[in-house]
Chains A and B, each alone.
Chain A
Amino acid sequence: MMQGAGHAVCLGPDIDTDLVIAGRYLRTKDHSQWVAHVFEDLDTSIAPRLMGAIIVAGKNFGGGSSREQAAIALREAGVVAVIAPSFARIFFRNAINVGLPAIECSLPCLNDQNIRFDLTSGWVETSGKQFPIRPLSPRMQEILSSGGLVNYWKAHQ
């Protein structure tokens, strides 16, 4: 998914992967079970607002455990993209590899405000203002638009 839009859900800095999805929920193959529990230990009112949302977080999103489930849980919950000034590197890789755009950008955030982005041309837009972002490599763009690395390679065999 190279272009997208959604309503903003604003979060603070240093949200680690344990806060995204708590360790006690990991042991299941049914990923849809995570939808109700995303951000549960941070604020239980967040999960119901995530369908079609763009998360706008503070610095260092996704630190801590390298669990790939954190990125999968956000995708399953209907999150369109995560925007933050910086990401912990493993989360960043995991997000791209499961087909969830992780966009490096410092963005002012107002809850429920509309946000649009275009990863091919390299911008994020909110309240009529455009913020430039660095273009992704061609391979990263293909991985995202196929919905992740496994799908990408299934299709390219």
Chain B
Amino acid sequence: MTTLSERILGAPAGEYVDHAVDRAYVHDGTGVLTLMTWKQMGASRLCDASQLYVLFDHIVPANNSTTATLQQELREFASGSFMHFSDIGGGICHQIMSEGVVLPGEVVVGADSHSCTPGAFGAFSTGVGATDMAAIWLTGETWFRVPESIGIHLSGRLSGAAEAKDLALTYVSSLGMDGGTYCALEFVGEGAATLGMEDRLVLTNLSVETGAKTGLFYADEITRTYLAAAGHVVKTQVPEPCTYIHDLDIDLGDIVPMVAVPHRVDTTKPVADIAGLPVNQVFVGTCTNGRYSDLARFAAIVRGKKVAVRTIIVPASRQVLKEAIRTGVLSDLVEAGCTIGTPGCGPCLGAHMGVLGEGEVCLSTANRNFRNRMGVGGEIYLSSVTTAAASSLTGEITEPEVA
């Protein structure tokens, strides 16, 4: 009787295991450090380059020549090896790994804190530092402490204007910023089966905001269908009765549109309580909410209208961008006055385009609203895509209408 983490890692919670890694990924930021450390280790070989991914997403295209030079070294190394390499414009690392790469039951590590995201496929996926990653480049394995699990039991289904992001902000605020420390979050219950893959990715993405090591969904028919479209035939994973160290029950029918207010992700309010607050910028994108369904939902609300405030939309990947072009979503966004960025992290980390000025307020669909993250003195409110769309039309935080 095991949790999914125990099943995948093959040992009970609390034990330390050495385990082979099925896929390991870095981005342009952590990849530079990984390469440096790998060289310090005296390394001249890679374990199995076909399991390694270098995915440029954080500062793309490069913002200055220092970044460009660092990126060039990593680019030359990665494209000269047999690693998978995605250059600027390919998309956010977590998104690329979630487009039919990570499969149920795999052990996946990324050199980035949101590497918990592909857990939505029933994989054990977590973040490590550059030193750990360098050793994985060498050996293809690493050590883990098998985490205890927290059961997030979902019932009912989302209704009204509420979406997966509102559910994510709700559970982060219930658990608190350290409520999941060192644990895995398992999303289970019949409510989980009502959530599509893109919704699940939103929920696993925010699991690290509770301090958790990862978040997981059991692979079911929805997972199978999604991965079948990418050419993979996978088995479903059946949950067994198991012991959670903590349980959280959420009725999806109770979820209402929420906003996380500065400067903590676990400090949330219903949108209704904060409606009317003027914003200077709306940002839609990131590994949380930059997927095709997000862009399509946003476009459906602003179609034929004009945004009242500067609105930056950054597709999470080239595949998302291509789909938005194919279906006309992109032209709806551009017609409505939105600015479109290169697929990648965009303004999320405050390192280049779209940073905030002193005292400016941004409503963002990202996962972090830490002080100064998007620019010194800027304030970040986090919301769903639907709330962001309603707010972009008014220039103030606005409760979305029920469709």
Contact = CB atoms under 8 A, between A and B. Distances in A.
A135 B17 CA distance: 10
Interface residues on B, range: 20 to 34
B143 A139 contact: yes
A42 interface: no
A136 B18 CA distance: 10
A149 B134 CA distance: 9
B134 to A, nearest CB: 8
Contacts of B44: 157
A154 interface: yes
A1 to B, nearest CB: 17
Interface stretch (A18-26, A47-55, A87-95, A110-118): A87-95
Given A86-B181, A86-B182, A140-B143, A134 B131 contact: no
A114 B128 CA distance: 34
Interface stretch (A4-12, A31-39, A60-68, A74-82): A60-68
A82 to B, nearest CB: 15
A150 interface: yes
B129 A137 contact: no
Nearest to A90: B129
A154 B42 contact: yes
Most buried by A among B37, B134, B145: B145
Interface string B340-369: 000000000000000000000000000000
12 contacts: A60-B181, A66-B113, A86-B182, A88-B181, A94-B131, A97-B131, A140-B143, A149-B41, A149-B135, A153-B134, A153-B138, A154-B41
Identify the 9 closest CB pairs spanning chains A and B, nearest first: A153-B41, A137-B16, A139-B18, A157-B42, A137-B18, A89-B182, A140-B143, A136-B16, A154-B42
Interface of B: 14-18, 37, 40-44, 113, 128-129, 131-132, 134-135, 138, 141, 143, 145, 178, 181-182, 211, 213
